Amino acid sequence: MEQPPPSYDGGEYNQPRSIDEEAALLGQQDDIEELPPRRSWLCVITTITFMGVIYGTAITKSHVWEPELIRKMFTFESSLVPKFLLSATGSSALCFVLVAMLTPATQRRFVMAREAAKELTRSRSWFALLIGAVLFGAGMATSGSSPDMLPIQLGAGLPNAWVTLFGALFGAVLYSLIEPIIDPWFLRLSGFSDSENGKCCARKFMIWPVTYADEMHRNPFWVLAISIGVLCLVAASVWEGCMYWQGELPKRLTGRVDESINAAMCSDGFNCVAWPPMVCGLLIGPCQIFAVMGLDCFLESADAYQMAASWIESPFFVFCDENARGFFRYAVSYVRPTLRVFYQLPLLIIAMIVSAIFTTTSEGFGKAMGMDTASSFLGGLMMMIGARVCGGGIATHIYTGCGTLMLYSWIFAPVVLFSGAVVAAWVGDGFTQVQLESSVDVVHSLASMS
């Protein structure tokens, strides 16, 4: 695990603790074995498969992956995405409590995952997180996508989703090349520690000495986590009860008479093209249980793009000497990542396949409205650079970070919303109405050109 730079004094809270010390803070017993047994590859593969199916189902059926709804979240015209995120956060928080309190073995695995997640806060300052969240929100509003939604968009045949993917991969490659430079001068701010004035300046923007909210006053984790979980679920329930969620779906899904399924009057739950956003958000919690129990980590996804980018760069590293590989150690580390990072790629691939199956069987493949080429590429570029600066995207900070009480994540969420709202307001109505292109329009345009 990456340790803080020498110039940083993390204080008593953020110093590495033993598993027993962390277990005591969770309010559980500490008379349990130090490390849980390793799992077989069959267990790992089964876990990733179940996670991918559940995650792909939740995102696809909720339709929060559609750029139209993502844009409308930032313009405050739709509540589908916020309700899904609230439900996912609440479900994750309660499932974390369940895993942490169920048995000594499950508690150990949760503690290991929570300690490993501290690397995010130890490797970047809150100022870097703030800038990264601004970039992420701007990119998300521009492309109508996120690292977590993009695989679902690809599986659903969204026009120009592949352009967003290219932009995201380019952003990941670019970040890996500049990371050695911005790490001391921006991420950690340790480069300013050589002078007294630099120390004074950097100290105001440096890494926080506390990672989780329950560490601030030494409160048991389960007390705050249950409070957050219940609050989020109640808010999502009341919000959904006050809003007719079917009326907020894209128009192609409501009241359609030329297709076999009507989202607004669907009685066959599994075959219905859309589910209530709160119900879909509840499915994220079981994914967290699978991640902790089967992989000793939490649900994340943004690292998969950095891993793919490092594989693209890997031929370059073959011809580099040791000094060059040491300089680009960030990119090199993702060429052969640990299981906690590697699992994200097959997870997203499985979710993409699930999305393709659901949209194809419901005759909705390729019918969602996508963004223009420039917005897709530029947005993908910005959101990925922002995600790398922040250490993750929606899954890392909303589903997982807020559920585990990570303080950085509670900064990330409102900043992303504010940044995306500013970008959406700046672009105006044409942002969501004029520049959206359906797959049918693209086909007709190509036919007329030929």
Q: Could you report the per-residue pLDDT of 259-282, keeping only the tens digit for each?
A: 444 555 565 666 778 888 999 999
User: What's the whole-number mean pLDDT along residues 140-157?
Assistant: 94
- Which residues, in sequence order, are CB contacts of 251 under 8 Å at separation 6+? none
CB of 112 within 8 A of CB of 298?
A: no
Segment holding 393, helix H or strand E: none
At 422 the pLDDT is 93
Assigned token pair, 428: 């105006």
At 266 the pLDDT is 62
> 212 has which bridge partners?
406
At 287 the pLDDT is 95
- Which residues, in sequence order, are CB contacts of 229 under 8 Å at separation 6+? 89, 90, 91, 92, 93, 94, 97, 403
Question: What's the burial of 322, exposed, middle or buried (CB within 10 Å: 0-12/13-18/19+)?
Answer: exposed
CB of 405 within 8 A of CB of 225?
A: yes
Q: Model confidence over 405-435: pLDDT tens digits?
A: 999 999 999 999 999 999 988 875 444 333 3
Q: Which of 293, 263, 291 is nearest to 367 (CA)?
A: 263
- Which residues, in sequence order, are CB contacts of 150 under 8 Å at separation 6+? 161, 164, 165, 168, 380
Res. 51: pLDDT tops 70: yes
CB of 336 within 8 A of CB of 361?
A: no
Residues 49-85 as b or e (16 or more Cβ within 10 Å = b) = ebbbbbbbbbbbbbbbbbbbbbbbbbbeebbbbbbbb
Residue 429: count other Cβ atoms within 10 Å of its Cβ.
9
Instruction: Name which residue leads in pLDDT, 328 or 11.
Output: 328
The span from the CA of 78 to the CA of 73, in Å, is 5
Res. 40: pLDDT tops 60: yes
At 355 the pLDDT is 95
- The DSSP 8-state label assigned to residue 260 in this structure reads S
The span from the CA of 240 to the CA of 151, in Å, is 26
Q: Model confidence over 336-371: pLDDT tens digits?
A: 898 889 999 999 999 999 999 999 888 788 888 888
How many residues in total does the chain contain? Answer: 450
Q: Model confidence over 189-223: pLDDT tens digits?
A: 765 555 555 555 555 557 777 889 888 877 789 99
At 162 the pLDDT is 95
- Which residues, in sequence order, are CB contacts of 246 under 8 Å at separation 6+? 254, 263, 264, 274
> 370 has which bridge partners?
437
User: What's the whole-number mean pLDDT along residues 95-118?
Assistant: 91
Question: What is the band of 125 on the pLDDT scale with cuts at 50, 70, 90?
Answer: confident
Res. 449: pLDDT tops 70: no
At 316 the pLDDT is 84
At 315 the pLDDT is 85
At 209 the pLDDT is 77
The letter for the amino acid at 182 is I
The span from the CA of 220 to the CA of 28, in Å, is 9
At 435 the pLDDT is 38
